[in-house]
Structure 1
């Protein structure tokens, strides 16, 4: 059994905690500079979160953010920066909605088809960046950013009535048509509303993510390749294959990001489908340090900021305060993690020095 490392656990918690404290303090400074009460918005958000309907909204949003962050984290563990989660998720949701609306199957099969289409489309779109990286050496950062823009334009073209879209009579809104009820995924009805069924699937994927990465040979190879390509190749791992595989898996998970909303509420895709979730997933993955538990709490926090801040404008505060805080969290994460890393290195050097000094003292005592 591996010995419990107290210092490692404390350092792991110190980074996110420091980032959050700094983000809250900087947000308070912004409020003070605007002649606003620096603490009142937090109190209002906490009070809003006490309503059961807001709690349901927060939990459902957490599931969506959790999937986006898992997709990003898979890339991070491979030392890949998949910035294209947003495009992968929206294109996957759009085409999955098209397929779902065009067929009618027995319930479980209908839902399964939609899920498989979403995963395939997400994997395909991320796979383009993976192939470019493994065959031409193109940075996945550049290619995934470009693919986000291409996905946006492609969706706008595909959803035209002349192609795959549907325009209801008397409406200017373009959709993919409504999925038959057999393709809906039932959720859990509670006092404040309905928790999407796919929200629970999202959290279950966190367990799968942990098990694959930490308890399988594939997960070990993936982490080893992310740590050092040359070392992984020396041990017989095909680094290029692992890069492509990681991008495909990351894209497949990204493709699932829109399914809680698609299967649980809208049952169609339209331009009102939320954008920017992939970029929020980057923030959450960084704050959660790529850990499934850390990502859950980070997703819960960001979902809380989103949903509990919706009524701030009724009290004279702009709801964009939550957006400012999220941006400050990103900056704080980068700075605080580097500070904690440097402190950890100094701490390790100090412990090694103490152990060497103790051994030298012991030898001196024995010789005398």
Structure 2
């Protein structure tokens, strides 16, 4: 049974350690760490920063969930980046071409995005189960290919339109959007609610279904799972397809809540951020949510550092330090718990002969 220390201490140690590293970096550069951190926190309560942080966190959350599904099966789906970009352009093209009633239009776009993401994940999944090809290698290659696919599809000769100096897909009708939630002078993406529902479904799948049990069992030991009647190859295939389907939704908060089209200049890198968020959250939906919020906060508040003559890249250093330290912290705490358990067992075994001997003399 996992102790509270294994769950709580590692992320706390990781954050503290990253703060120390960044503090040293700030001191070396001649800046005041307390002033820098205070500036970042105050920025959160200025203008639309808080809402912008939540909006960005919803994107990171979906990305982290997509990666976490693969991690549960010991699969490193580094191709989330390619899967979400492929799904985004396909969903945007379909959404711009269709003219459907509200809700139905939105549902179709979401369904197309999920299917497109799963389809792009299907190739490495099939190669993995049929030929033993590493999903890391195949998904990295597909990440490289997706840029060309997006450029081809957004070409005006295909499905794109030239807007100013930017190429983008045809705009999606208002019927295909997800209405936002006005908060002050900002608008919270309505897709935040959908992302939370997906996280709840992920938790339910892992903890309340047979499939979730088999998924975790296969990830722990494919040999033991196979001995229990679990088809490891089928689980690998399904896990990759599910991971790809969730990855296909990553761009939808922005696509259906703000942009309504996908451009050649649309933000990239969300898939790689998801890897860090999943690691920070230890594949738990609640932990991933906290990791996504922390990552989004560091991204959105970093710009305020320039007002106190501190380079905003310090937030990037903090993010990198968190990822590295969380991995180390979990291993340290895990080993400490294991050593403590072995010590308790050793003491129990040492005390047993004495009690048996005393019982024999009586």
With the shorter chain as reference, the TM-score category is: over 0.9
How far, CA to CA, are the matches of 2:89 and 2:336 in structure 1? Answer: 46
Aligned residue in 2 for 1:64: 59
Number of matched residues?
361
Shift of 1:284: 0.8
SS of 2:187's partner is strand
SS of 1:185's partner is coil
How far, CA to CA, are the matches of 1:276 and 1:190 in structure 2? Answer: 28
Residues 299-325 of structure 1: CA distance to partner in whole angstroms, max 9, x if unpaired?
111111011112222321222211111
Aligned residue in 2 for 1:324: 317
Contact preservation (8 Å) 1:55, 1:192: no
Query: Pairwise mapping of residues 173-322 of structure 1 onto structure 2 (< 5 A)?
Result: 173-322=166-315
SS of 1:39's partner is helix
Contact preservation (8 Å) 1:56, 1:192: no
Aligned residue in 2 for 1:162: 157
How far, CA to CA, are the matches of 1:176 and 1:311 in structure 2? Answer: 33
Aligned residue in 1 for 2:334: 341
How far, CA to CA, are the matches of 1:304 and 1:224 in structure 2? Answer: 35
Residues 104-123 of structure 1: CA distance to partner in whole angstroms, max 9, x if unpaired?
10011100110011001100
How far, CA to CA, are the matches of 1:361 and 1:128 in structure 2? Answer: 62
1:118 to 105, 113, 135: 113
- Structure 1 residues 366 and 126 mapped into 2: Cα distance closer, same or farther (>3 Å)? same
Contact preservation (8 Å) 1:71, 1:253: yes
Contact preservation (8 Å) 2:154, 2:264: no
SS of 1:107's partner is coil
How far, CA to CA, are the matches of 1:200 and 1:77 in structure 2? Answer: 24
Normalising by structure 1, report the TM-score. 0.95
Aligned residue in 2 for 1:98: 93
Contact preservation (8 Å) 1:60, 1:260: yes
Residues 234-291 of structure 1: CA distance to partner in whole angstroms, max 9, x if unpaired?
1111111100100000000000111111110001101332111111111111111111
Residues 167-199 of structure 1: CA distance to partner in whole angstroms, max 9, x if unpaired?
13xx11000011001011102111141111111
Residues 190-233 of structure 1: CA distance to partner in whole angstroms, max 9, x if unpaired?
11411111111101111111110111100011111111111111
Structure 1 window deviating more from structure 2 (343-352 vs 280-289): it is 343-352
Residues 37-72 of structure 1: CA distance to partner in whole angstroms, max 9, x if unpaired?
222221101001123511101111111110000000
How far, CA to CA, are the matches of 2:353 and 2:187 in structure 1? Answer: 66
Shift of 1:338: 1.8
Contact preservation (8 Å) 1:72, 1:85: yes
Normalising by structure 2, report the TM-score. 0.97
Query: Pairwise mapping of residues 131-150 of structure 1 onto structure 2 (< 5 A)?
Result: 131-150=126-145
CA RMSD of aligned residues (A): 1.3
Runs of 4+ in 1 over 2 A off after TM superposition: 354-368
Contact preservation (8 Å) 1:178, 1:268: yes
Give unpaired runs (5+ residues) of structure 1. none
Contact preservation (8 Å) 1:187, 1:195: yes
Shift of 1:15: 1.2
SS of 1:312's partner is helix
Residues 328-356 of structure 1: CA distance to partner in whole angstroms, max 9, x if unpaired?
11211222222122212211111212332
Residues 73-94 of structure 1: CA distance to partner in whole angstroms, max 9, x if unpaired?
0000000000111111111111
